[in-house]
Chains A and B, each alone.
Chain A
Amino acid sequence: MKPIQIEKVQEILETFENKELYFHLETTSGAYAAQDKDKLAVGAYIRNGSIKFTNVKMAGSGPFRVGFKLNDGWMYAEGLTDYQLDDGRLLMAGHDSSGRLAVAVQLSYTPFD
């Protein structure tokens, strides 16, 4: 993956507008975070959910936020730092300074494995 360039990724995101897509959305503080009783371990995970969005906007000056406007609602994520376009799939993720993934948003025309 490479660092997000907001204009470039915005351009890629717009090519997915108004299409029937599969998405992967994930956020995690790590499974072992639960060991620290002072911290709340949180995470959410959706793989191969269906989505169709009419508008998409990337915002921020890094780490970035992305918001998808759906016919009947919204989806958004924050903390994104890196992206990769492979085989027509867009992978975006937020990594901390040691390379640990904390959030991911991915779009694809075909289901993820």
Chain B
Amino acid sequence: MMEKQVLVVFPHPDDEAFGTAGLITKFVNEGVPVTYACATLGEMGRNMGNPFFATRETLPEVRKKELQDACNAMGVKDLRMLGFRDKTLEFEDPELLVSTIGKLVDELKPSLIITFYPEYGIHPDHDACSAAVIETLKRMPKEDRPTVYALPITPDREAVLGKPDKVFDVTDVLETKIKTIEAHRSQTEAMVARLEDGSMDPNSEMMSFIKKESFWIYPFDE
């Protein structure tokens, strides 16, 4: 089914890179409007480089630029930076998150939302962000609700949630996906070096992981 509008909601620049950059690129290539809402600028990232490319104070600008570069790589024209601070989402008033996401949903009326799978996100920001997305949608009339492709990243995901509902082979857009990963250089430097010097085996676990994107359709209870 052709989507009308896709809304991607993640807390950090680079959260889209490994799990969804391929699918986003496919949507863009099909002409589907894609909006990427990124809640923070990953201000608390730890990697400052060796040699240093950032300090705690300059990292937000570095990562903002990387996020914009990543969107350019994927062809995403509508990037919304929501202005929250890294590692604080779980401490925010949940209603603030819900109303922020709610405004986006009202405005864009997405047919599909991509976000982390609540409680399977490992990082507290991932879980707070996805929980707010789900809460926002629970408050909508069922018939207006977009489909949610939820992305669990805990190692036990298949053991608990079963097989993914949607698996996309993104080999055809792999070059763009790798460019997206590379755009987030502050976070992916070490891996990018291995991609660039050809030392990454095309049959390696990492490469097969990158070539496949798996999602679980979030089951609303009602």
Which A residues form the contact surface with B (CB < 8 A)?
A: 1, 24, 26, 28, 30-32, 34-35, 45, 82, 84, 86, 89, 91, 93, 95, 97-102, 104, 106, 112-113
Contact = CB atoms under 8 A, between A and B. Distances in A.
A113 B57 CA distance: 8
A84 B55 contact: yes
A97 B49 CA distance: 10
Contacts of B47: 98-101
A1 B55 contact: yes
24 contacts: A1-B52, A28-B44, A28-B46, A30-B46, A31-B44, A31-B87, A31-B125, A32-B123, A45-B44, A91-B55, A91-B56, A93-B48, A95-B48, A98-B50, A99-B47, A99-B50, A99-B51, A100-B46, A100-B48, A101-B48, A102-B46, A104-B56, A106-B57, A112-B57
A75 B51 CA distance: 29
| Dominant SS among interface residues on chain A | strand
Given A28-B44, A31-B124, A93 B50 contact: no
Contact of B87 (A45, A98, A112): A45
Contacts of A35: 122
Given A89-B57, A99-B52, A100-B47, 7 more contacts: A26-B44, A26-B56, A30-B46, A32-B122, A45-B87, A82-B52, A95-B50
A91 B57 contact: yes
Contacts, number: 58
A99 B57 contact: no
The range of chain B's interface size is 10 to 19
Nearest to B190: A98
Contacts of B49: 99
Interface in B62-98: 87
A112 B87 CA distance: 17
A1 B51 CA distance: 9
A34 B153 CA distance: 14
A91 B54 CA distance: 12
A82 B54 CA distance: 12
Contacts of B48: 1, 93, 95, 99-101
A-B CB proximity, top 4 nearest: A99-B50, A100-B46, A99-B49, A101-B46
Contacts of B44: 26, 28, 31, 45
Interface string B29-58: 000000000000000101111111001110
Contacts of B125: 31
A97 B52 CA distance: 11
Nearest to B60: A113
A26 B44 CA distance: 10
B56 A106 contact: yes
Nearest to B58: A86
A45 B46 CA distance: 13
B127 to A, nearest CB: 11
